[in-house]
Amino acid sequence: MVPSRAASGHGFDEYALVGTALSLRGTPYRNGGSDPSGFDCSGFTQWVFARYGIALPRDVRAQYRAGASIPPEDLAPGDLVFFTTTDPDVSHVAIAIGGDQFIHAPSSTGVVRVEHLSGRYWAERYVGARRVN
C-alpha cells in the first residue's frame, strides 16, 4: 500500500520528488553547487524541492529550521533528514526516500548517492528530521 500525500502530511507528490532526487544519482559533489552540474548537500535539497514549488533556504542550518520537526518513527519519503558531520551543530542534510534509506550529496565519495539511516556512521550523527510543505 502506497501512503497518500494526506497520510504523510506533504503538500506535494513525495514519490515524484523522490524520483527526481534518485534521477540525480551520480551527479558530482561540488562545494557551493546548486544545480545538476554539481551539488553540495543543501544545494541538492533546495534544487530538488524547488522542482515541486517548495522554496527551501540555501543553508543547512536554515533548512533545519524550515517546516515541522518530526520523530524518527514518523519519517516518510520526502522528509528532510539532518546530521552533524563537520560541526557539533547540524551540518548535513539529505532527503528520506523510504524504508531505511536517504539520498544526499556527500563530499566523501564525490557523487549523489543513497545511504542507510541505520548505517553506523549516519545513525551516530543523526540530529533530526523536518517535514516541509
Query: Which of the residues are catalytic?
Result: 41, 92, 104
Please, are residues 5 and 14 in contact by the beta-carbon 8 Å criterion?
A: yes
Is 19 within 8 Å of 114 (Cβ atoms)?
no
The total number of residues shown for the chain amounts to 133
CB atoms within 10 A of CB 60: 22
Quote the DSSP letter at residue 119. Answer: S
Report helix, strand or coil for 23: helix
Whole-number Å distance between alpha carbons of 87 and 130: 19
Closest CA to 132 of 66, 44, 36, 43: 66
